[in-house]
Amino acid sequence: MEKTHAQEADIRAFRSQVEDIRAQIAREIVGQQEVVDHMLMALIAGGNVLLEGVPGLGKTRLVRTLSNVFDLPFSRIQFTPDLMPADITGTNIIVKGEAGNEFRFQPGPLFASIVLADEINRATPKTQAALLEAMQEHSVTVAGETHALSEPYFVLATQNPVEQEGTYPLPEAQLDRFLFKVLVRFPTLDELSGIVDMTVGGGERRAEKVSDGEKLLRMRAVAREVPVAKAVKEYALKLLLNTHPEIPESPEISRKFLRFGASPRAAQALIAAARVHALMEGRYNVSFDDIDFVAPACLRHRIALSFEGLSEGMTADGILRELMKITK
């Protein structure tokens, strides 16, 4: 019984914290609630996010607001074709000490708690790999010496739609490192009006600190304890398996329109994100609806359309919607 009371207290505290964070973000960000919620889910789950959308939709402002709300160090890296790995990881510099000249490590912009990697697909694969290593290992190696990154650590990478010129598409193995790929839609008329009023109409407000790194890590620990029923876990795993065209039992839509399916890391992402979503909804158990809510963002960048799928105008999200219906 004591455990039940503790769980209820954890749920109330978790949801109250999320509502406070949402309220502060809304002071600076108009609309884009789905994007905000996915970023919060990823941050709490300990994952990273890839945002895709045209420039000017407020991605930088959103990440900066998030860092203010959590009072965490923030850095922004503008990726360009001439950006080198040392420009983001840091480098050893020569300084004059008491014993003569010596090397000292000068940290790069990756050494922040929240990092915005803007237009990641404009950098060369070598620089992309340096960022993705930091995302995965939470450490950076320079000249054979490993430097740990502080916790919590969160990377939000943005990319332009791949059809734009001057881009280097991220390889599938690197895309798999992102918990979510979130598509940023263009604002509605009412949202555009609100943005203009907020930014050029004198009504701009600033988000205030309502959390910190320690509270965030506590929320992460609570989320990891949320139970997942066997039937819900099997649904998530079957959904993942149904994305694989090479499996004979896969639905026809997968075998016909997909080139390859999601990796085992996607299963971890589905469960971790669904746990956080359940808590955000005020529940201490993961439901089928939680899996359905996080599945598109978890899986859309982990599957690839075949030539036939591309030629017939299929989309990853459309196929995933059908697979969710079939799997149930």
The tokens describing 152, both together, are: 């919590």
Q: Are residues 271 and 205 in the same domain?
A: no
* Side-chain half-sphere exposure of 266, counting CA atoms within 13 A: 29
- Residue where a domain terminates, one of 225, 257, 283: 225
For residue 55, give Cα distances in angstroms to 115, 129, 192, 199, 247: 18, 23, 15, 17, 39
Q: Are residues 46 and 115 in the same domain?
A: yes
Q: What is the pLDDT of residue 184?
A: 83
The tokens describing 155, both together, are: 């990377």
Q: Are residues 259 and 209 in the same domain?
A: no
Domain that includes residue 196, residue range: 1-225
Do residues 69 and 209 touch, judged by C-beta distance below 8 A?
Answer: yes
Q: Are residues 43 and 69 in the same domain?
A: yes
Q: Are residues 190 and 283 in the same domain?
A: no
Kindly report the CATH number assigned to the domain that includes residue 207: 3.40.50.300
Q: What is the pLDDT of residue 213?
A: 86
Do residues 258 and 327 touch, judged by C-beta distance below 8 A?
Answer: no
Amino acid at 213: G
Do residues 234 and 318 touch, judged by C-beta distance below 8 A?
Answer: no
The one-digit pLDDT tens for each residue of the chain (328 residues) are 345 777 788 888 888 889 999 888 888 887 788 888 999 999 999 999 998 877 777 777 888 888 889 888 999 999 988 999 889 998 888 887 777 777 778 888 999 999 999 888 888 888 888 888 888 888 888 877 888 888 899 999 888 775 555 677 788 878 899 999 998 888 778 878 877 777 776 656 777 888 888 899 999 999 999 999 999 999 999 999 999 999 999 999 999 999 999 999 999 999 999 999 999 998 899 999 999 999 999 999 999 999 999 999 999 999 999 999 999 8
Q: Are residues 305 and 206 in the same domain?
A: no
Kindly report the CATH number assigned to the domain that includes residue 313: 1.10.8.80
With both helix axes pointing from N to C terminus, report the angle between 213-224 and 2-26 in degrees, rounded to the nearest 10.
130
Number of domains in the chain: 2
Q: Are residues 292 and 219 in the same domain?
A: no
The tokens describing 223, both together, are: 């989320």
Q: Are residues 6 and 97 in the same domain?
A: yes
Cβ atoms within 10 Å, residue 304: 17
- Residue where a domain terminates, one of 204, 225, 246: 225
Query: Number of H helices and number of E strands within the chain?
Result: 14, 11
Q: Are residues 147 and 279 in the same domain?
A: no
Q: Are residues 238 and 256 in the same domain?
A: yes
Determine if the pTM surpasses 0.95. Answer: no
Cα Rg of the chain, angstroms = 21
Q: Are residues 194 and 233 in the same domain?
A: no
The tokens describing 320, both together, are: 């995933």
- Residue where a domain terminates, one of 196, 225, 254: 225
Q: Are residues 297 and 183 in the same domain?
A: no
Q: How far apart are CA 205 and CA 218, in angstroms?
A: 28
